[in-house]
Chains A and B, each alone.
Chain A
Amino acid sequence: QVQLQESGPGLVKPSETLSLTCTVSGDSVSTYYWSWIRQPPGKGLEWIGYIHHSGSSNYNPSLKSRVTISVDTSKNQFSLNLSSVTAADTAVYYCARYAPSAKYLDYWGQGTLVTVSS
């Protein structure tokens, strides 16, 4: 059974960089595509981007200048860095796996709340 678990600080100061890691079990990050999605409190889902172990990645145009997603095959993890955060970046952050077709998300982590506040 594929499982994903997000980890990282729950509180980040404005203008700093938000960093989260997703640890994958039951599958290898060297297969398929892996993604980050976020959901501000009481609001809808927002797609952040995806990464493939080959290094191929793509990001939401509205976040592209601040986002980096990377993969560490030795640890079977992938990570999210979001720079210059503001209160608008406060959200539950989910990591997820794309199904083999790479067109839909079939496994999700439980999500982790990150609050941006001084």
Chain B
Amino acid sequence: QSALAQPASVSGSPGQSITISCTGTSSDVGGYNYVSWYQQHPGKAPKVMIYDVNNRPSGVSSRFSGSKSGNTASLTISGLQAEDEADYYCSSYTSSRTRVFGGGTKLTVL
């Protein structure tokens, strides 16, 4: 299975909004509403920010939102804050009942 495609990096200024895309196929992202997004700070374990395309776990800021269109899912962070600077990974359930991650996107808050 191939990794889902994400941009290597995105950046934004405090207060702005950014969107990270995650492109797969009809056998993963496009076929199921089981896309999740993880935030990872350096040296730390990943933390789930969005699950099932657009649901936020308890405790995650409402500034984080998710969506999906066809084979591409997106994570939007509004009102950027310095603490949002991290690596972000998407993940999807697949038709083989496995899971696949995206290559990761480094978010820089300018």
A-B residue pair count with CB separations less than 8 angstroms: 62
Cross-chain contact of B45 among A49, A58, A59, A109 (Cβ < 8 A): A109
CB distance from B87 to the nearest CB of A (A): 8
The digit string for B1-23, where 1 denotes a CB below 8 A from any CB of A, is 10100000000000000000000
Interface residue ranges of A46-78 to B (CB < 8 Å) = 46-47, 49-50, 58-62
7 further A-B pairs in the complex, CB-CB below 8 A; given A50-B99, A104-B34:
A44-B89, A45-B40, A45-B46, A104-B36, A105-B48, A106-B48, A109-B45
A11 interface residue (CB < 8 Å to B): no
CA–CA, A2 and B103, complex, Å: 28
B104 touches A44 (CB 8 A): yes
Shortest C-beta distance, A43 to chain B (Å), equals: 8
Q: Contact residues of A with B, CB < 8 Å?
A: 35, 37, 44-47, 49-50, 58-62, 94, 99, 101, 103-106, 108-111
Q: Is the CB of B36 within 8 A of A58?
A: no
B84 within 8 A of A: no
A101, B52: Cβ atoms closer than 8 Å: yes
Tell me the bound Cα distance from A84 to B46 in angstroms: 28
Contact status A104-B45, CB under 8 Å: no
Closest to B33 in A: A103
Within 8 A of A (CB), among B79-106: 89, 91, 93, 96-104
CB pair B89–A103 under 8 Å, yes or no, is: no
Picked from B36, B97, B100, B103, the residue with its CB within 8 Å of the CB of A105 is B36
Q: B residues bordering A, Cβ < 8 Å? A: 1, 3, 34, 36, 38, 40, 45-48, 51-52, 57, 89, 91, 93, 96-104
Contacts of A109 in B (CB 8 A): 45
Is the pair A103, B52 in contact by a Cβ cutoff of 8 Å?
yes
Supply 15 A–B pairs (Cβ within 8 Å), ascending by A.
A35-B99, A44-B3, A44-B101, A50-B99, A58-B96, A60-B98, A61-B96, A101-B52, A103-B34, A103-B93, A104-B51, A105-B36, A105-B38, A105-B48, A110-B45
Interfacial chain B residues near A111, Cβ < 8 Å: 45
The answer to whether residues A104 and B101 also contact, given A44-B3, A61-B96, A62-B1 and a CB cut-off of 8 A, is: no
